[in-house]
Amino acid sequence: MKKRSLWISAASALVAAAALAGCGSTTFFAGRALPPSGISNRVLIAIQNPSSFTRGSLQFVDAFYDIRSSFNDKIPLFSISGFSGALPLSIQNMPEEQVGAVYGSGDGSFTLINYAKESTGSTVSGLSGLSSSIFISRNQSYVFAANQTNHQFTVVNRANNSAVSLSLPGVYRVSVNPGGTVAMAFVQNSNFVYYPRQLTSTQTISYSGGPATWPKAAVDCEPLNAPSWCLFQAQSPDSTDATGNYYGQPLAFDRPVKAVFSSDGGTAYVLNCGPECGGTASSVSLLPTSPMIFLLGQQSGLLPKTAALTASCLTAGASGCNIPVPGGASNALVTSSTLYVVGQQPQQVQGQTLYGGNLTVVTPPAGTTPATVSTPVSISDGQPGAVSRMILADDDTLWIGMTKCSGGVRFATNAAGGYGCLTMFNTSTNKVTLLESYLGDLTGIAAVTTLHKVYVAQGGQVYIYSTVDGSSIDNQFVTVTGTAYDVAYMDGLTDDNNTVY
């Protein structure tokens, strides 16, 4: 009876969509194209090994009714046509552009998905083997990827169909600002940060003589005989060489792993993993983005002096300072005036070092007003240094997903009390709700905004939760065959509905 009622409701929705089309309307909110399925609340699911004949598929479900089939079962499931990537690992969700970018870890493919047509678009070429981290700019002009095995940071300029691979031993993560003007590279177990910049024709000539002709902060410029891009180590402007190129000293970081960006795009918040990643102290370092802009004609400014990042933003309200975050800092989410920082804190438990999850609410400095840092609150434990999943949803909730939560402090000290990988945090009341017992690694979250629910990929399956109270919602009609690894709300209101940026 329940499924019958869902069918009737779904039928009504499709009739309404057809009526709109009959009146000449082929769009819904924000001028977006009405998709062929007629569904206006779609959650995309990246599925690994859905059958013995294919290693990957992209299916989507109706997130309003929480069903995977059409109302009359004539269509048993909806999927993205033409997708052939192997072992899809992540979905970079860009609903404002009606585009998604799916990375296949089985074949190194990076495929654009057309949300309006519900079909596969182009596949990015020029990548160097398998990527440990990859992003495309929201205008789809540039792709940045880290290949840790080959020690290469690759830049693909889709506008002129060119690709350059820059050497950077140990590179394993990249971060790209939402505006698509700044990219940053991070090396595992390193205290340095790197960024690429395009070169002018004059610089190409000047740097064509090899490393001896490069600026002293450059770690690689390619192609070697006529470089078009250089990769720079973040340096303070303490001195210049004979041609006026500043290089100074490397800026002071502590196992940096990622950068997130302020709402106005002017500041990069570099997350220093600290003890969680074998370093000394976890923190957030503030860098101006203007010196790191890779677009020609927009590069300006200087990075702060080395000494600046030793100054605490808690007393100095300047850009280019450092915010201590004792609870850990391996991932963060930015709102207009707040940083939600997540990390794992090492603790000695039963004679061994285990890690406990923490969430810290940080207010960055503004003018002469210093930064503030909350007392860390305990959340789900996770794998040290791993990329957690974070997303804001309805009802003032922040959702945080972890991997390897069964190896943390909670399980070691209270296995019977539950040690799940998913946390719901109410940003208004600062209340933490730890959801469910252990269901496996949490690898994807999608906020189905305005419908008061989130979809998650956990333990290889799809689950649904209410943002009102964190309760489970019946998922029997959205479960998949194979391993669900990531989810994305294709019809999100903004590109912020994305756990990858």
Q: Please compute the mean of the pLDDT values over residues 25-52 and round it to a whole number.
A: 90
Cα distance between residue 201 and residue 486, in whole Å: 42
Point out which residues pair with 424 in neighbouring strands. 399, 433
Cα distance between residue 197 and residue 178, in whole Å: 17
pLDDT above 70 (res 483): yes
Cα distance between residue 344 and residue 382, in whole Å: 7
In the block, tokens 């794992």 appear at 344
pLDDT confidence band for 18 (50 / 70 / 90):
very low
- Tell me what the pLDDT averaged over the chain comes to: 91
Output b/e per residue, 478-496; b: 16+ Cβ within 10 A.
Answer: bebebbbbbbbbbbbeebb
The token pair at 498 is 């994305």
Q: Please compute the mean of the pLDDT values over residues 206-217 and round it to a whole number.
A: 95
pTM > 0.85: yes or no = yes
Cα distance between residue 435 and residue 388, in whole Å: 16
Contact (Cβ atoms closer than 8 angstroms) between residue 76 and residue 59: no
Distance from the Cα of residue 477 to its chain's centroid: 28
Instruction: Quickly count: other Cβ atoms within 10 Å of residue 84's Cβ.
Output: 14
Helix (H) or strand (E) holding 143: strand 142-147
Cα distance between residue 77 and residue 96, in whole Å: 25
Residue-wise pLDDT for 94-153, tens only, equals 999 999 999 999 999 999 999 999 999 999 999 989 999 999 999 999 999 999 999 999
Burial of 465: CB neighbours in 10 Å, binned 0-12, 13-18, 19+: buried
Contact (Cβ atoms closer than 8 angstroms) between residue 195 and residue 292: yes
Cα distance between residue 491 and residue 31, in whole Å: 12
pLDDT confidence band for 495 (50 / 70 / 90):
very high
DSSP code per residue over 240-273: B-TTS-B--SB---SSEEEEEE-TTS-EEEEEE-
Query: What one-character DSSP code corresponds to residue 140?
Result: S
- 3-state class of 113 per DSSP? strand
pLDDT above 60 (res 37): yes
Q: 132 — alpha (psi -120 to 50), left (phi > 0) or beta?
A: alpha
Predicted confidence at residue 144, as pLDDT, reads 98
Residue-wise pLDDT for 240-277, tens only, equals 776 677 778 999 899 999 999 998 889 999 999 999 99
Q: Please compute the mean of the pLDDT values over residues 422-442 and round it to a whole number.
A: 92
pLDDT above 60 (res 19): no
DSSP code per residue over 479-493: --SSEEEEEEETT-S
pLDDT confidence band for 350 (50 / 70 / 90):
confident
Cα distance between residue 251 and residue 341, in whole Å: 22
Predicted confidence at residue 232, as pLDDT, reads 97
Query: Phi, psi at residue 363, to the nearest 5°?
Result: -105, 115
Predicted confidence at residue 318, as pLDDT, reads 60
Predicted confidence at residue 337, as pLDDT, reads 86
Cα distance between residue 82 and residue 54, in whole Å: 12
Cα distance between residue 432 and residue 151, in whole Å: 40
Residue-wise pLDDT for 366-417, tens only, equals 888 899 999 999 999 999 988 899 999 999 999 999 999 999 998 888 877 7
Residue-wise pLDDT for 273-308, tens only, equals 999 999 999 999 999 999 999 999 998 988 998 888
Predicted confidence at residue 174, as pLDDT, reads 98
pLDDT above 60 (res 358): yes
In the block, tokens 């789809």 appear at 140
Point out which residues pair with 229 in neighbouring strands. 198, 222
pLDDT above 70 (res 13): no
Q: Compute CA distances 215 → 68, 187, 229, 234, whole Å.
A: 55, 21, 12, 12
Contact (Cβ atoms closer than 8 angstroms) between residue 118 and residue 80: yes
In the block, tokens 């082929």 appear at 26
Cα distance between residue 141 and residue 264, in whole Å: 21
End-to-end CA distance of the chain: 41
Supply angle C-alpha 488, 421, 431, rounded to 5: 95
Q: What percent of the chain has pLDDT over 90?
A: 76
Query: Phi, psi at residue 29, to the nearest 5°?
Result: -60, 150
Cα distance between residue 250 and residue 252, in whole Å: 6
Closest listed residue to residue 204, CA positions, set 232, 225, 234: 225
Q: Compute CA distances 82 → 33, 320, 485, whole Å.
A: 20, 47, 19
Predicted confidence at residue 8, as pLDDT, reads 39
